[in-house]
A = this chain, B = another copy of it.
């Protein structure tokens, strides 16, 4: 499985000079991916100057094109996001906008370039919004060409109201969240390999 590339796009609003709860949850997935022999890369979107827009390259200083290259190379793309007011972050929204910007680009079979790639999400919030954010992101990925295996929405949220975030308390022991990390890793890997051996044939799905 050494030829499976996993790309984690962490849409935390903080850059990598600060800890990210979502990053910490993803670390559990990363270890499992690497145990299985996959190669992983993790990006903090806030470290990059990503311009607003819906194209693949917004010109002059836009750093999305270098991230898009990583997306093109990846077999598995995971979007990580915190939750604010029950929604995915603005950076997660922007990542989807920019991915959408090249959804009309095609592979050598005239399918969208995201065909045969596998999507998933890793989400943390101190309370509420994970499923809504997961639905939005997974739908966006699916609509532009990604495959969504079962159970690829790993998340942690706490009880209603202000309270500890993922890193602050005992969240790392949450059995439900940990189980979902395992399912995310295993199911994305299985589909990524399956699609390497059996890529989706071109038929009515060309652009």
Interface residues of A (CB under 8 A from B): 13-14, 46, 52-54, 84-91, 93-94, 96-97, 100, 112, 114-115, 127-132, 134-136, 138-140, 142-153, 155-162, 171, 174-177, 179, 182-183, 185-187, 190-191, 194, 198, 200-201, 203-205
**Also in contact, A159 and B159, with CB within 8 A (given A128-B129, A186-B204):** yes
User: Please, could you name 9 A-B residue pairs with CB atoms under 8 Å apart, sorted by A?
Assistant: A84-B96, A85-B144, A86-B130, A88-B93, A147-B150, A149-B200, A161-B174, A187-B200, A198-B198
A112 to B150, CA, bound (A): 10
Q: Are B175 and A204 in contact (CB under 8 A)?
A: no
A148 to B53, CA, bound (A): 27
Min CB distance, A58 to chain B, in Å? Answer: 9
A160-B176, A182-B204 given; 4 more Cβ-contact pairs under 8 Å: A52-B89, A85-B139, A159-B159, A194-B194
A151 to B131, CA, bound (A): 21
**How many identical chains are in the complex?**
4
Min CB distance, A97 to chain B, in Å? Answer: 5
Q: Are B96 and A131 in contact (CB under 8 A)?
A: no
A69 to B144, CA, bound (A): 33
A46 to B90, CA, bound (A): 13
A96 to B77, CA, bound (A): 27
Contacts of A88 in B (CB 8 A): 93
**Also in contact, A153 and B148, with CB within 8 A (given A136-B135, A159-B159, A185-B204):** no
Contacts of A159 in B (CB 8 A): 156-159, 171, 174
A132 to B127, CA, bound (A): 12
